[in-house]
Amino acid sequence: MLGTPDIVTTETEDVFRISSVGLEWDIGIMVYEPIDEGLIPLTSNGKKVGVFLLHGGSGDFRSMEGFARLIATKLGYKVVSMTYPGRLYLESPDRKWPGETIRSDGSVRTPIWRAGETIDREQYDVVEDLSMRSRYGTRVLAKARTGTPFHARMAGWPAAVEDGMKEVCRRHLGDDYSILAHGHSTGGPFVSMLSQRVPNLVGVVAIENSPFGYIQERSRVFTGNIERRAAGLSEKTLAQSRRTDPFDEVSIRTWREEARYTGPAVAVLEGTAALMRLPELMEEVMASWDDVKIQANFKCEYPVTRNVTSSLDAAATVTAKRLGLDREATQALIDRYVGMTRELNGPDTKPVPPTLFGITHASRDHPPEVYQEVILPLYAAMDPLPRTALTRFGAGVHEYSKAEADLPQGVAPAVIAGWHSAITNGFFGDG
């Protein structure tokens, strides 16, 4: 794949404004596509192949940039890479977030949902959470104060994400495209949701891609229990894998986020010998943090990605009250929010499209056991039954484009070769 000639491509930013739940939101995307549109491959029904990408974790489009360029230059697909609302640094043309996420004056980074609108220090409290220290270290949270614009935004963002994703597809991947959707890690539940809400989205390509929120909730309980048993913890502690995140909290990331993925990866690749070079590993973690802190590095998506339905109910209720909705409309909004965590059902509903799962060799969050015991059985229980397949790669880490020995772009070239084969051989139907 890497040895094939590059297709000449162009890269374009599009920042546009939508209205959702009575508020304005700026949505930012990057578009990667061949200069010669005639080079975009076609599906068997004559539609062009397009890819919708959504980053995971607490990043922005930059965390998907190398992957997006690889897809466009090697396969010729049109790629649209979206940043979550609030994550794009709208105050600078280079979109690089300045400074540290936690500042010396006690303030923290906060989302920018609309250009020119800032969240000042009076709109939130800073809270330290030690409840998941073994996994995350000390978590720093910005908790929105009731009645502030920050609180309203935190209650409204789930609708803005859904509306923004659908508008991105409408603007850039219309009816003349067959869309493959990929959301890295916590981007996965959102593209799973999107898959039934965009008619021409023909498949989910799920490399290190979490599934629907309710399935991800069960998956994390399963993998959390594996980790706790391996650590020799008692059965009483096992239930702590379930999330209870309130909708009004933003998790502010630090170097600890780099550490929590580096540790498991080197444990798989090097074993306990990695501890003998702990100072070097710590330096690598800090250097990696310096590289990525220009991205947003805050996160508030857990209510959707981990099926915290009580928080989604509360967010919808707050939003409905702000909008002055009656009881029936309030319940409809609650149903919309809570429904984001699972597949849609009903006679007039688009079925869940085919899903091509993929997992890397040294992934912390996606062990093969969870697919066999939780994810694939729950997909098999859906009605109608969606087509699924699972590819296990013999190399790679959660950040699947990360360079390794003899693999300058990780397993990413092998990943997209699999996507192209699946398109060519009809895995996703005729598009």
pTM of the model: 0.91
What tokens appear for 7 in the block? 């297709």
242 pLDDT higher than 90: no
In this structure, the number of other CB atoms found within 10 A of the CB of residue 234 comes to 8
Mean pLDDT of the chain: 93
What pLDDT score does 66 carry?
A: 97
Cα–Cα distance between 273 and 39 in angstroms, integer? 48
Instruction: Annotate 154-196 with three-state secondary structure.
Output: HHHHHHHHHHHHHHHHHHHCCCCEEEEEEECECCHHHHHHHCC
Strands 48-54 and 78-83, sheet pairing: parallel
Q: Give residue-wise pLDDT tens across range 59-105.
A: 899 999 999 999 999 999 999 999 999 999 999 999 999 999 999 99
Rounded mean pLDDT of 125-146? 91
Q: Give residue-wise pLDDT tens across range 353-393.
A: 999 999 999 887 899 999 999 999 999 999 999 999 999 99
342 pLDDT higher than 80: yes
236 pLDDT higher than 60: no
What tokens appear for 149 in the block? 């614009």
What pLDDT score does 388 carry?
A: 98
Cα–Cα distance between 384 and 352 in angstroms, integer? 8
Angle at 274 between CA 269 and CA 280, to 5 degrees: 120
- What confidence category does residue 240 fall into, taking pLDDT thresholds of 50, 70 and 90? low
What pLDDT score does 233 carry?
A: 58
What pLDDT score does 258 carry?
A: 86
- What confidence category does residue 132 fall into, taking pLDDT thresholds of 50, 70 and 90? confident
Q: Give residue-wise pLDDT tens across range 274-317.
A: 888 988 899 999 999 999 899 999 999 999 999 999 999 999 99
What pLDDT score does 235 carry?
A: 53
Contact 88, 112 (CB under 8 A): yes
345 pLDDT higher than 90: yes
234 pLDDT higher than 60: no
Contact 314, 161 (CB under 8 A): no
Q: Give residue-wise pLDDT tens across range 13-39.
A: 999 999 999 999 999 999 999 999 999
Looking at this protein, which amino acid is placed at residue 45? N
- What confidence category does residue 232 fall into, taking pLDDT thresholds of 50, 70 and 90? low
40 pLDDT higher than 50: yes
231 pLDDT higher than 90: no
What pLDDT score does 136 carry?
A: 83
Angle at 412 between CA 72 and CA 30, to 5 degrees: 40
Cα–Cα distance between 280 and 262 in angstroms, integer? 12
Ordered by start, the domain boundaries in the chain are 9-424
What pLDDT score does 327 carry?
A: 98
What pLDDT score does 238 carry?
A: 47
228 pLDDT higher than 70: no
CATH of region 9-424? 3.40.50.1820
Instruction: Annotate 122-137 with three-state secondary structure.
Output: HHEEEEEECCCHHHHC
Looking at this protein, which amino acid is placed at residue 250? V
In this structure, the number of other CB atoms found within 10 A of the CB of residue 206 comes to 26
Burial of 93 (0-12, 13-18, 19+ CB in 10 A): exposed
- What confidence category does residue 225 fall into, taking pLDDT thresholds of 50, 70 and 90? confident
Rounded mean pLDDT of 324-333? 98
Burial of 80 (0-12, 13-18, 19+ CB in 10 A): buried
Percentage of the chain exceeding pLDDT 90: 81
Of the given ranges (56-60, 143-147, 195-199), which has the lowest mean pLDDT?
56-60
4 pLDDT higher than 70: yes
What pLDDT score does 168 carry?
A: 98
